Amino acid sequence: MKKRYLLLFAVFLLAFGALFTLLSAAPLQQRPRDYFEISVVTRESDSSIWASIRQGMEQAANDFDVELRLVTLTETNSVSEQRMLLSREAKGGADALILAPADPNALEDAVAEAGIPVVTMQAPVGNAPCISVDNEAMGRELARSMLPRLRTGDRVVLLSIFPGEGAVAGRAAGAKQALAQQGVAVEELWLPGGRGAMGEALSGLLSDPPELVIALEPAALEGAVRVFQGLESAPALCGIGSTSLIVSCLEKKLIEAIAAQNDFAAGYLAIDAAVAAAEGRPLSPAEPIGFSIVRQDTMYLPENQKLLFPFVR
């Protein structure tokens, strides 16, 4: 046989051999996916409020190969700190950011200038995708659930440690809408000083206690229940949030009712949206996260158990 053919044969044989070895060793192994770095900037200094959300985020991080960084503020609701953190995380190589905005309006320019995709939670900022409940509906339903115990002329205080903007503003609007039907007087009590200032302000409230206090976010609800706990003159309390303390107090009827959103789903969907944004995939408009109004007598219904007590693995 001619040398040319032999040479050709040898080359083909070697090529086939190499391919054969590759296929035998690792047939069609999938290329390991790249990890996404996603930073989450909260609006609270206490990360325990985010426990359920965080569980959802960690589950999603595991599913989508995400390296998650949860950044809490040193001062609750600090816009300037959030600005600084947005900039720092973007420069630090994060692929996307999840932000619970302290003040949506004040942070609009910072979000636009971040240079990386930003997904917001609780309240929308500009055109950034937002994972949130329907705040107005949640406030309205919570207030509506308390209407049977209210009479015309009763006083209701809407309480929050955050200024009346963003998510809290929506909840307040919803609550007011429902309460207006009953003809009750609504007062707003904003305690931007956080829990420290809450004790004094709420104690002051007890001198002329309203019929109902509606806390519009978990920190305010926790603060209020701590103050009102054991006081005979304490007004009825309801609010938004489902932390362990809140659930425990609900069970003891220190809290009349809570509006609990599916925090686990919110966390999971926020990471999902952030990954999609980082990959440049088009985002479909997010459905509002579901919520339930839970009372002491309904808290152990199977659906509410799943909502209030996430699995801790």
Partner 1 sequence: MSNFLDSMMRRLSVWYRRSSIQVVISLSFTIVAVIGMILLGSALLLRFSSSTDALLAEDSRRILDQVNLNLDSYLRSMMRVSDTMYYRVIKNADLAEDSIGAGMNLLYETNRDTVVSIAVFSQNGGLVSATPLSNLKRQARPEQQEWFTAAAEKIENLHFSTPHVQNLFEDPDYLYRWVVSLSRQVELTRAGAIESGVLLVDMNFGGIEQICKNVDLGESGYLYLIDGDGEIIYHPRQQLIYASLLRENNRAAAGYEDGIHREKFGGETRQVTVKTVGYTGWKLVGVVPAESLASNHIQLRLFGIFVVLFFIFFLVFVNLGVSERIAVPIKALEQSVKELEAGSETVDIAIGGPYEVQHLGNSIRSMVSTMRQLMDDIIRQEESKRKSELDVLQSQINPHFLYNTLDSIVWMIENNRYDDAIVMVTSLARLFRISLSRGRTLITVGEELEHARHYMTIQKMRFKNKFTSEIRADGEALGCETVKLVVQPIVENAIYHGMEYADGDGEILVWAHIEGEDLYIDVTDNGPGMRQEQVDRLLREDDGPAAPSRGGSGIGLRNVHQRIQLTYGEPYGLEIESEPDEGTTIRIHLPVRRPGGDGEEARK
Among 159, 219, 265, 273, binds partner 1 (CB under 8 A): 265
Residue 283 touches partner 1, criterion: CB under 8 A: no
Site for partner 1 in 55-114 (CB under 8 A): 55-56, 59
Q: Closer to partner 1 at the Cβ: 20 or 35?
A: 20
Residue 290 touches partner 1, criterion: CB under 8 A: yes
Q: Closer to partner 1 at the Cβ: 93 or 302?
A: 302
Q: Closer to partner 1 at the Cβ: 164 or 288?
A: 288
Q: Closer to partner 1 at the Cβ: 6 or 112?
A: 6
Site for partner 1 in 1-40 (CB under 8 A): 1, 5, 9, 12, 16, 19-20, 23-24, 27-28
As measured in angstroms, the least distance from the Cβ of 107 to partner 1 is 28
As measured in angstroms, the least distance from the Cβ of 203 to partner 1 is 24
As measured in angstroms, the least distance from the Cβ of 297 to partner 1 is 9
Residue 281 touches partner 1, criterion: CB under 8 A: no
Which residue(s) pair with 213 in the sheet? 157, 237
**CA distance linking residue 6 with residue 94, whole number of Å:** 56
Q: What is the DSSP letter of 133?
A: B
**CA distance linking residue 32 with residue 10, whole number of Å:** 34
Q: Closer to partner 1 at the Cβ: 117 or 267?
A: 267
Q: Between β-strands 96-99 and 118-121, what pairing exists: parallel, antiparallel or unpaired?
A: parallel
The C-alpha torsion from 50 through 55 and 61 to 67, rounded to 10°, is 50
Query: Alpha carbon of 97 to those of 24, 68, 190, 198, 273: distances in Å?
Result: 42, 10, 28, 31, 10
**CA distance linking residue 49 with residue 243, whole number of Å:** 6
Among 203, 251, 279, 298, binds partner 1 (CB under 8 A): 251
Residue 298 touches partner 1, criterion: CB under 8 A: no
**CA distance linking residue 132 with residue 123, whole number of Å:** 7
As measured in angstroms, the least distance from the Cβ of 18 to partner 1 is 12
Answer whether 55's CB lies under 8 Å from 62's CB.
no
Q: Which residues contact 133 (CB under 8 A, 6 or more apart)?
A: 261, 266, 288, 289, 290, 291
Task: Count CA atoms within 13 Å of residue 313 on its CB side.
Answer: 5
**CA distance linking residue 181 with residue 147, whole number of Å:** 9
Q: x/- contact string, 219-248, with partner 1 (CB under 8 A)?
A: -------------------------xx-xx
As measured in angstroms, the least distance from the Cβ of 140 to partner 1 is 22
Answer whether 286's CB lies under 8 Å from 131's CB.
yes
Residues of the shown chain interacting with partner 1 in the complex, contacts defined by CB under 8 A = 1, 5, 9, 12, 16, 19-20, 23-24, 27-28, 55-56, 59, 244-245, 247-248, 251-253, 262, 264-265, 268-269, 290, 296, 300, 302, 305-313
